[in-house]
Structure 1
């Protein structure tokens, strides 16, 4: 399946890029050449969940690829004015950061990191930099992700209730 490209980035916030650069991170606007990395990244974020299915490796990969495609289509169609970044450290792609800065509150669409970049304060650095620049920040967190929920609460996010069946909406002002 050919996936749609990313919306044209037209409203960069250089201050956000400068803020994360202090932590040794670089935000690069996504383009179609990043889709293979983003597909592998998505697969990594689902590995633990899919390991328990009993499916063969080929079945898990096919399912993950299908789910990635559907998620990508959802993100670019529902957040057409968002910024879609590949996160880099020392020239290496280590994650993605999708951020909609068009509303009165900036909305974190998604943060995902490769396995070996997790637990190093990168998500914290991204969210702190975003909070420092935005009047308010919102995000949704999966109810089955208590570690992320705790992180967001430590960073000042407050649970605002259900955001669909399996997610909670959180806000920091």
Structure 2
């Protein structure tokens, strides 16, 4: 399936990326050439869930690929003004950070890290850097992701209720 392109990043994206670059991280605008990495990243975020299905590997790969495509289309369509950043550390692609700054509260559309760099404070540093320059920050968290919910609560986010389906909306001022 052909996926839509990321929105064209302008100078504001470069400036924002520089403001959020903390703890040896480099942020840069995602492009079509990043889609293979982003597919792998998406798959890693779903590995535990997919392992529990008992499906053959080929089925898990096909399912994750389809879900990645649908998620990508959703993000690009519903957040056309968002900044879609690829995260790098030491020249290595390690994650993504999608941030919509178009409203009165900046919305973290998505944050995802490779399995081997999770738990090292990267998400915390990004969210703290975002909160330092944003008027307010919102995000949605899956109800089946208690580790993320604990992190966001520790960072001062407050549960504002259901965000649709299996997600809770959180806000920090």
| Aligned twin of 1:141 | 141
Q: Residue deviations 1:109-154, cap 9 Å, x none? A: 0000001010000000000000000000000000000100000001
Deviations 1:5-51 (A, max 9, x none): 1011133262x434443410000100000000000000000000000
Asked if 1 retains the 8 angstrom alpha-carbon contact of 2:157 and 2:171, the reply is: yes
- SS at the partner of 1:131? helix
Distance 2:22 2:123 in 1: 14
Q: Counterpart in 2 of 1:101?
A: 101
Residue 27 of structure 2: SS of its match in structure 1? strand
Where structure 1 has 5 or more consecutive residues not aligned to the other structure, the ranges are none
Question: Residue in 2 aligned with 1:12?
Answer: 13
Aligned residues: 172
Query: What residue number does 2:59 align with?
Result: 59
In structure 2, the partner of 1:160 is 160
Partner of 1:129: 129
| Residue-by-residue CA offset, 1:76-109 (whole Å, 9 max, x unaligned) | 0000000000000000000000000110000000
| TM-score, normalization by structure 2 | 0.97
In structure 2, how many angstroms separate the alpha carbons of the residues matched to 1:172 and 1:99?
A: 15
Question: Equivalents in 1 of 2:50, 2:154: separation in Å?
Answer: 29
Equivalence for 1:73? 73
RMSD of aligned alpha carbons: 1.0
Distance in structure 2 (CA, Å) of the matches to 1:13 and 1:31:
14
1:85 matched residue in structure 2: 85
Indicate if the aligned counterparts of 2:22 and 2:126 stay in contact, CA closer than 8 A: no
Runs of 4+ deviating beyond 4 Å: none
The unaligned stretches of length 5 or more in structure 2 are none
In the alignment, the residues of structure 2 paired with residue 103 and residue 23 of structure 1 have an alpha-carbon distance, to the nearest angstrom, of 27
Q: Is the alpha carbon distance of 1:57 and 1:147 closer, same or farther for their aligned partners in structure 2, counting shifts above 3 Å?
A: same
Q: What SS class does the counterpart of residue 67 from structure 1 fall into? A: helix
SS of 2:164 mapped into structure 1? coil
Q: Distance in 1 between matches of 2:70 and 2:29?
A: 20
